[in-house]
Structure 1
Amino acid sequence: MTVSAERTLTPDELCRIQESILPEACALRGELVAAMEGYQEEARESHLQSPSRQLAIYLSRQVQGGRVTQKDLGDLVHLLTGNAFLYRARKLRRYVGETGIAENTRLLTAVFEGLAHENPTSEGGDGVLLPFAEFRARVEREIFGIVITAHPTFSISQRLTRILAQLASGTDGEGVSLSGDDVAALVREATQAAHGDAKRIDLEAENAFALMAIGNIHAALERVYGVILDVASRLYPEDWRTLTPRVLTVASWVGYDLDGRSDIGWSDTLCARMVVEAIQIKRYRDALHDFAEELDQDEGRRSAVDALRESALRLVRSHDELCAEIETLKTEMSTPDAVAAFARRLSATLPTRLVHVAELIDAVNTAIAEECAQESVREDRVRRLSVLRAEMANFGLAHAHTHVRINANQLTNAIRKQIGLDGAPDDSTNKRRFMRELNELLDDVETVAINFGSILSENMSARRIFMVVAKMLKYVDADEPVRFLIAECNTSFTVLCALYFAKLFGVESKIDISPLFETPVAMEHGHDIIGELLENPHYRDYIRVRGRLCIQTGFSDAGRYIGQVSASLAIERIRMLLARRLAKHDLVGIDLVIFDTHGESIGRGAHPVSFADRLDYTYPPASRAAFARAGVFVKQEVSFQGGDGYVYFSTPDMAFATVCRLLTHAVGKAYRADDDPDVFYEDTDYSLDFFLTAKDFNDRLIDNPDYAGMLNLFGPNLMYPTGSRKVKRQYEGAGAADQSHPSQIRAIPHNSILQQIGYLSNSMSGIGKAIAKDPDRFVEIFAASDRCRRFVSLVASARNLSNLDAMNGYVALYDPVIWLRRAFVEKDPKRAQQMQLLARLLRTGGRHEEMNRVLRIFLNDTLNLDRGLEAVKAETMLPDMARACYPDLDLLHAVRIALIHEIFLLATQLPKFTSHQEFTMDDVISDILHLDLDHALEVLCTTFPKTVRTFGAELFGEPASYQSDDSQSYQREHAELFEPMRQLYDLVRRVSTAIAHIVGAVG
């Protein structure tokens, strides 16, 4: 018997399944829950009591006494990780909503029927049917865009990601309902599987993951096109066959994102672009072949059959050529001879290469026309051919549109010599001179000819990527435009640099330059940057040719700098002011494209309550209304990042459900923007003061050296690697960047550290202080403002997942006094001595003092925040399952603190060794105290080998019985110290993956 997802995901049923898998671990969990509840009850009576620390000590004693083995700990972590995974599946189901294909098709049908009507009646009727031309203009316009990005959030495998989606939807990968036995089997597999991997994922694996997601989006889009055509055939029976729906686009920057990383070569980028062409060409080839075979069965369709077969054969040859070129690009391409041979091959095939999709569309149009000319038209066939035509028109020769990305510094470095740029481009003393010289370059620029040797000899990555784009347009797809994203863009000068290089390499008519506003400077002056550009004749001419003005807003990095809510408010301010700027310029026919690069976590702008909240949080209704008043059409794009984002597209059912949520929201808002008054915007004194207070709090925090010390204490060492990108930015011609400052740690690891120590600071810090300035007015604003309630519900979600007592437990790990007090009551003299030695090791470095000072800041702000949230009963805004992650989230923190206890105590037993040139014993201890166990154990295992090399008498002609000290084996140290530390550290990182499941994303 089949059962629904709601039935299969009830907590009681899942608990019974878990008990059948790990019964002893379930019993241990029950024991720890009872102990935790007792400690929490005591803490309510004594503010000095720490339940997390007490439970960690309790578990450590169980381990010490032999009542809990390392295997028991491993099983417990497996169980808690499985519970967290299942909690995540339940949250995912609630977040996505309806996942049934039939019901989602019905809902989407209603959306597009509504799009065909104007002025719905008060009785709920459809209203006035629009003329076909107006309906056509609406559905053939890009309204919304999905951008697949590869930020490092690949915490689980593709298989586990699909299981997560299947449990959430209640269906398998083919859309068939899961039975109770199916669910049990998936739960068993997920519980017993490894969540996370110590090996770093590479770019090729990320790309494969991304292509899986994009493939399912394509399947969803085929359904969407079909729904639009079905609606049109009913409402416009005489005209619908001419429709080519567009509505939603899909893009990717996987393999093209060069921002702050130097490990992606030009050949990797070109290869990634050819891979997506090869996939799409194969899709077209198979479709055209199948249609040709189908039409060949009917009379009167010979011209269509011939056209389709000819195109299919062309695609066969193109696919074979591409596959050979891709294999070549995957080999060594740094030598001139290898590159020259590759270039000659491309050049030789250019006359016959398929670089325009138009000829394929012509073949499909021939088939549609010939079918429509028949006395008995096969309408279903016309519909299916029209769906294929829509895909060709929307995607060209690509599985996804292309977004390349570099950093603003890379652009300014590339033009530095040409204009004598001897400082920052926004330096007030030289800014006018720099802009004048750059405009002179733009006045006189002439396109240069390049070959692949030019790419090979170019050292500047900005110039090189423009050359690669030029080759993409020449040899891969001459029609599909490329988005050119500029990270950390703080000045209009940088955008004009990009325009100069686009003109220099002849790609300006096929490239959309998009500055990313994410830094504090850009948050304040983003609208001014666009305003300066609109005053520039070169830029105005450029956007008129392109027909669109593109910007990118970064909720992730901006949230790290000034706090997530402050970032959201600052980005909204950019939108509102930009609407005014655009209204002043003669930009008829120019669309505005806003790409919102939020992440998948609360701290990076993914509102946790629903998709509607997520989309209205990043693009609030008031902003939509401002653009509508200015007469500016806005296409919104959003990112889905890494494994955490791809889960929404990991099965066909889930992908279609997600696309339906996105389109329902986007289509409904695109032509019916609300303009209801909101007191948060009307009371500008209050809203501005609220924003500035929260922003100032986070400004001070990120510049606080104690905060930097806290982040760098664990760094990324609590987590398994979750992607190919480095934690810290890589710089071209590295300058004087302060590598210890939080700005040099990327947003994802920055936020991950906060998640893992139990306090989602950048999602809520400063809000308590802002509320406390006028708590009564806050309550009034909250009651009357949709905008205020939306960001407060985000803050409340972060607060629900935060535990200052757990953070206190991590701080206490580095408190020498705590270890000495434990030594006083420890009954085992040897263990007491270890604690005493550990206290001595912790006296230097100031680790505890730094963390404790930051903890005090958080405690004070949280007191204010809790009062404010209580005053508006913010917990009622959260999903009813929000607290269902407890007590497991508390247990996970306490268990990991206990694991770290054991690691630290084992460190006191390490054998001493003579200092080497590369490292000392103090270095190894420091690594362990920072949980850099990978490096520490590598040093220890090299210094103290488990086995030694010996030489037989026959080699040297005489026997020997002497063994030097250096040749002694250290099997005991490996068995009793090194291997237990390795296993404990693995459990530490498994716990981190479980916490990420509960939070809903990595970082």
Structure 2
Amino acid sequence: MTTLADLTERLQQSHQRTAETPLFNPVFQLSLDLSRMLESGELSLEDCAAIIAELECAALGQRAERLRNMVAPVGRDANVAALEECLTEPTFAAFADRWGSPQLHAVFTAHPTFLMTPAQTDAVAAAAAAGEGVEPDCVIGERPQVTLAYEHGQAMHAIANAQVARDTLNAALLDHARKSWPDEWLAMKPLPFRFASWVGYDMDGRTDITWSNSIGFRLAEKVERLSLYCDALAKIDPAHPLLNELKPATNYAEERAADFAGDLSDPAALSVAANRLTASDPRKLLSLAPYIERLEQEAAETDDAARAVALKTLAASMRADGLGMGWIHFRVNAKQLNNAIRRKLDPTGAIDLASKGAIVHIRRAIEQVKPHRSNFGALAIESSTAIRQFLAMAQILAHVDADAPIRMLIAECEEPATILAALYFAKLFGIEDKVDISPLFETETALEHGGRFVDALLAEEIYRDYAKVRGRVAIQTGFSDAGRFVGQIPASLAIERLQGRLAEAMAEHEMEGVAALIFNTHGESMGRGAHPSSLEDRLNWPLSPWAKRRFARAGIMLEPEVSFQGGDGYLWFSTPELALATLTRIACIRPAHTDPDAPKDLFYRRTDLSLDFYRAIKEHQREHLESRTYSRAVTAFGLGLLNSTGSRVSRRQSDLSADREMSLRQIRAIPHNAILQQLGYPVNVIAGIGHAAEGNYEEMAQLLQDSERGRQLVRLVRASNALASVKTVAAHGELFNSAYWASRPYRGTESHLTSACEKLAEYLVKDDRVGVFRRLASRLRVDALKLHRLLDLIPDEDPTANREEKRRMIGVLQALRLALLQHMFIRAVSVPVFSRANDVSRDDVLEMVFTLRVDEALAQLRRAYPTSFPKITDFQLDEPTDYPEGEDHGYEAIRRDFIDPIETAYALSLRISTAIANIFGAHG
């Protein structure tokens, strides 16, 4: 049983035993089989590595197939033809109106989801583009250190591919207009997509991004975008006169970017860099408006149709992106803004920001504030994170790009006063006409009270005046903490209601001339708001047709915005071909538009059923969240099941003793979701659906079947449930079962493990994790029985492709990892007690291994058992000695037999984590 085929067959055989013994666990049984082989020498870690490599490539193949199914066709000609079929507008006015405003704003965010190595990403992209599988011997490649600079570079690469794809679409749109309306087409200004990024500007939850990082990144983006403009113009005409202006501007920006790439902590160094950037220079370019006008004019004057289209395509790029790779999003936490406004207006802390008095106080301050000048010195000495962000924005608008507006996202925003505080600082530094202030709704409190929030905010005349100047009301709805603390489906439905309430509030306050920009931030996995069934479902799940109709009927223009997050999200844009396919599918879906006259979905008419359904799921999810059982299970291994996938830390610091009491709030949302994948059951997606239908299965099933929103919900649940396994959850708990370890060498079956198993059994006799996992598995099983009863009443309209193959792959991977973890436990408990480093606690090391803080454990073991240390023969001394009596040769053997195998087994377990995540389709 040393091949993948052998393991798969053995797992299938074990599954058959569940019919006669329901409590039998096939996954854990296979892990025991593998563990016995490992400990007897029948199976080596090298053999495991070979099997894992085969599964890794198969998982990458599954991911490539899923990506292709979402965006196919991939070829350029096929996508240009597909776009042409979507161009059905009867008049030029209708055509220009549809394609002259963004169908979608795409934001390239960078939370820790850089799961795959560059080689793996390339393999998936190539397979998806070609419609082929990943080669069985595909190169996995080294995992790079994911720094902020790495994330930024990856974001810019994805955006660059998206820009190339958008140019292709714009050229096709312009060519269509030229052929269809030859006398009007030159008035066309296509803008089907707009791109943005917060990589390097997102300060929520991190303190490692300095203001100089943000300025440096923005200057580097300016260099890259100007270079691309030059390249595009040179392709049109290598001797174009505008190149004589754009190339020097590029060189100037490159010099300034170099200035800000260094260490600016010294005031003298900062002064030099700042003075160079702020000084007048003929090469200093702050606006592309004159260049856009000249390109448009030249296009109108030329008789060469191809040249005219190319010139207008370049002008469209400039109009969309400005002097950067896209627009930028700064992000801070509401607490940071609240602290800043208190320091400025309420140093004694007398004002409650949740009160109406606070709004009156801040409103008066906004009315009275006079714009302040600022410079880089003010930025350097500012201690408040929130104020520092506004100062940085002021410098970017003054000295980098004067045209492109900047988004200010405010996380955990629960009070309208916080938005007014942001408006105060924007006005204080004279940038309120260039900054879109956007509250983020994702906590349970924010979602529950979001309707009252937008009512109160829009009731403020000073805010409405600001929004009219900007031309939009911007909000952000998040599926990160919302999905974790409310549950993914209740969060989506709560966000939908909030969006509908925003439409009502804007209409009530006569904001028809102002657009609603709704930024739905989510990841790529089903646990963070990205629907896995199709690209259409992905776009309609966070911003439903029901919500869009509310805006359409109110006469409010909608600007939908979504995130493509980290390495998972950038995969959609990993090549120009995939980027074109992605944007073409989105353009044809038309996410910014809806039919206002469409009949009302039954889900919203039968609120007697749907609201109770929503509330029951939400309550069930809350019970899990508040349950000590759930929290202990999710944190049982700490974060040790996961690879490091980003530059932002995944957990807050805690000492070893605190691990047993780790709160879910110590783990960020993405790792939380990722752990659920690794444990085998996406609780925050599936749990509660069955419970909510109990007692009313037939009527609830009929509602879900007859409603498009209901069917979409069911597709999400089925896709998640198809990869879920309660048995796998239970199997993880058996690792900590004292009785299991005591029984392994029973009757002499594994007598060579008697000592190690006895020590493990004795150590784990008081461990709570076996009971925790059993209780959680029981709760999940009861709910799953109810879910299956509901799903049996609803036709499966979109069966998951290769469902059983995927489940078997996950089962084998889980069994392999459980066997490797057992190997690590046995090796750890077998390490000799005595060592030179007598300050090392053996129990601490064991607990580190059991919670998979393996790197720390290995560091302690290597310190305890060094293989290189001073020897008496190192010294050339005349005086003889009889002590020590012999050399200590034992530590090399300890390294070889205990420490190195733990390291190897853990590295293999992390490769398994990557493969499991790829089958799920994303990290967390």
Is the TM value for this pair above 0.5? Answer: yes
Q: 1:879 offset after TM fit, Å?
A: 3.4
Deviation at 1:576, TM superposition (A): 1.7
State how far apart, in whole Å, the 2-side matches of 1:448 and 1:679 are.
54
Paired position in structure 2 for 1:896 = 817
Partner of 1:95: 70
- For the residue of structure 2 that corresponds to 1:593, the secondary structure is strand
What is the CA-CA distance between 1:418 and the residue it aligns to?
2.9
Letter in 2 for 1:269: S
Matches of residues 768-787 of structure 1 in structure 2 within 5 Å?
768-787=690-709
| 3-state SS, counterpart of residue 595 of structure 1 | strand
**120, 127, 135: which one aligns with 1:187:** 135
- Structure 1 pair 335/916, CA: closer, same or farther in 2 (3 Å)? farther
Deviates more, 1:768-777 or 1:559-568: 768-777
Match of 2:123 among 163, 176, 194: 163
**Cα shift at 1:97:** 2.4
CA shift in 2, pair 1:478/1:900, >3 Å? same
SS at match of 1:417: helix
Paired residues for 1:744-823 under 5 Å:
744-823=666-745
Displacement after TM superposition at 1:135 (Å)? 2.9
Matched residue pairs, number? 920
Structure 1 position 684 matched with structure 2 position 603: no
Shift in CA distance, 969/327, structure 1 to aligned 2, threshold 3 Å = farther
Task: Indicate which of 651, 658, 662 corresponds to 2:582.
Answer: 658
Instruction: Check if 1:725 corresponds to 2:648.
Output: yes
Moved more, 791-800 or 811-820: 811-820
Q: Which runs of 4+ in 1 moved over 4 A?
A: 421-428, 913-919, 951-961, 963-969
CA distance in structure 2 between the aligned counterparts of 1:966 and 1:526, rounded to whole angstroms: 72
Q: How does 1:70-149 map to 2 (within 5 A)?
A: 70-111=45-86, 113-114=87-88, 116=89, 129-130=90-91, 132-149=92-109
Q: Distance in 2 between matches of 1:952 and 1:864?
A: 73
Whether 1:253 aligns to 2:198 is yes
Secondary structure in 2 matching 1:98: coil
CA distance 1:457–1:821, shift in 2 (3 Å): same
1:392 to 311, 318, 330: 318
Partner residue in 1 for 2:657? none
Matched-pair contact (CA < 8 Å) for 2:704–2:711: yes
Q: 2:559 aligns with which of 635, 657, 660?
A: 635
Code of the residue aligned with 1:158 in structure 2: it is P
Displacement of 1:969 after TM fit?
6.1
Q: Equivalent of 1:838, from 740, 746, 760?
A: 760
Cα distance change on mapping 1:621 and 1:466 into 2, 3 Å = same
Counterpart-to-counterpart distance in 2, 1:964 and 1:866 = 71
3-state SS of paired residue (2:830) = coil
Amino acid at match of 2:412: E
Residue matched to 1:675: 598
**Deviation by residue 1:118-177 (Cα, 9 ceiling, x = unmatched):** xxxxxxxxxxx22x3343233222231111111111111233212212211217xxxxxx
Question: Which deviations, in whole Å up to 9, do the C-alpha atoms of 1:740-790 show, x marking residues without a partner?
Answer: 332332111000100001111111111111111411211210221110110
1:673 deviation in Å? 4.5
Corresponding residue of 1:324 = 255
Instruction: Give the Å deviation of 1:663.
Output: 1.0
* Offset at residue 52 of structure 1 (A): 0.7
How many angstroms does 1:539 deviate by? 0.7
Secondary structure at the aligned position of 1:483 is classed as strand
**Deviations 1:512-548 (CA, angstroms, capped at 9, x unpaired):** 0111110001111222211111111221111011010
In the aligned structure 2, how far is the partner of 1:572 from the partner of 1:28?
48
Which residue of structure 2 aligns with residue 362 of structure 1?
A: 293
TM-aligned CA distance change 1:803 to 1:341, over 3 Å: same
Structure 2: which amino acid aligns with 1:478? A
Query: What CA deviation, in whole Å up to 9, does each residue of 1:622-674 have, x standing for no partner?
Result: 1111111111111111111111111111111111000011111126x615446
Q: Does 1:236 align with 2:211?
A: no
Q: Does 1:216 align with 2:178?
A: no
Q: Which residue of 2 aligns with 1:693?
A: 616
Unaligned runs of at least 5 residues, structure 1: 1-24, 117-128, 172-182, 295-307, 372-376, 732-737
Q: Quick one: structure 1 residues 949 and 551, their matched pair in 2 at CA, closer, same or farther if it must change by over 3 Å? A: same
**1:563 matched to 2:563:** no
> Residue deviations 1:9-35, cap 9 Å, x none?
xxxxxxxxxxxxxxxx9x611221221
Paired with 1:918 and 1:416, the residues of 2 have a C-alpha distance of 48
Taking the aligned partners of 2:836 and 2:876, their CA distance within structure 1 comes to 33
Structure 1 residue 91: Cα displacement: 1.6
C-alpha deviation, 1:434, in angstroms: 2.4
Asked if the contact 1:547–1:590 (Cα under 8 Å) also holds between the matched residues in 2, the reply is: yes
1:954 CA displacement: 5.8
Q: In the aligned structure 1, how far is the partner of 2:191 from the partner of 2:653?
A: 38
Gaps of 5+ in 2: 655-659
Q: Does the 8 A contact of 2:704 with 2:710 survive in 1?
A: yes
Shift of 1:960: 5.0
Residues 954 and 715 of structure 1: CA distance in aligned 2, closer, same or farther (over 3 Å) = closer
**In structure 2, what is the equivalent of residue 21 of structure 1?**
none
Q: 2:573, 2:784 → 1: CA distance?
A: 37
- Distance in 1 (alpha carbons) for counterparts of 2:412 and 2:489: 19
Q: Which deviations, in whole Å up to 9, do the C-alpha atoms of 1:247-270 show, x marking residues without a partner?
A: 211111111111101111111111
Q: CA deviation at 1:46?
A: 0.5
CA deviation after TM superposition for structure 1 residue 189, in Å = 5.3
In the alignment, is residue 281 of structure 1 matched against residue 207 of structure 2?
no
Preserved contact between residue 350 and residue 475 of structure 1 (Cα < 8 Å): no
Moved more, 688-697 or 825-834: 825-834
Deviations 1:828-857 (A, max 9, x none): 323022112101111234222333322222
Cα deviation, 1:922-974, whole Å, max 9, x if unaligned, reads: 21111100011111001111121122134667666645563499987611110
- 1:919 is displaced (CA, Å) by 5.4
CA distance in 2, matches of 1:942, 1:166: 45
CA contact (8 A) 2:394 2:429 kept: yes
1:403 aligns to what SS in structure 2?
strand
CA contact (8 A) 1:947 1:969 kept: no
Native 8 Å contact 2:486 2:618 kept in 1: yes
Identity percentage of aligned residues: 34
Q: 2:244 matched to 1:313?
A: yes
Contact 2:837/2:863 (8 A) holds in 1: no
2:33 to 35, 55, 58: 58
Distance 1:189 1:674 in 2: 54
Q: Does 1:447 align with 2:371?
A: yes
Match of 1:341 among 272, 276, 280: 272
Alpha-carbon distance in structure 1 between the residues aligned to 2:385 and 2:849: 38
Shift of 1:426: 6.7
Work out whether residues 835 and 864 of structure 2, in 8 Å CA contact, stay in contact via their aligned partners in 1.
no
Distance of aligned partners of 1:329 and 1:571 in 2 relative to their CA distance in 1, 3 Å threshold: same
Q: How does 1:339-488 map to 2 (within 5 A)?
A: 339-349=270-280, 352-371=283-302, 377-420=303-346, 431-488=355-412
Alpha-carbon distance between aligned partners in 2 of 1:153 and 1:1001, rounded to the nearest angstrom: 8
Partner of residue 588 from structure 1, selected from 512, 524, 541:
512
Partner SS, residue 193 of structure 1: coil
Q: Which moved more, 1:331-340 or 1:887-896?
A: 331-340
Checking the alignment, whether the CA contact within 8 Å between 2:60 and 2:124 is kept in structure 1 is: yes
Please say if 1:936 is aligned against 2:834: no
Separation in structure 1 between the aligned mates of residue 198 and residue 887 of structure 2, nearest angstrom: 51
Q: Distance in 1 between matches of 2:405 and 2:166?
A: 20
Contact 2:236 2:310 in 1 (8 A): no
Q: TM-score, normalized by length of structure 1?
A: 0.88
Give yes or no for contact 1:822–1:835 (8 Å, CA) kept in 2.
yes
Cα offset for 1:203? 1.1
Distance change >3 Å, CA 485–CA 813, structure 1 → 2: same
Contact persistence 1:945–1:969 (CA under 8 A):
no
> Could you state the TM-score of these two structures normalised by the residue count of structure 2?
0.96
Query: Partners of 2:350 and 2:920 in 1: how far apart?
Result: 40
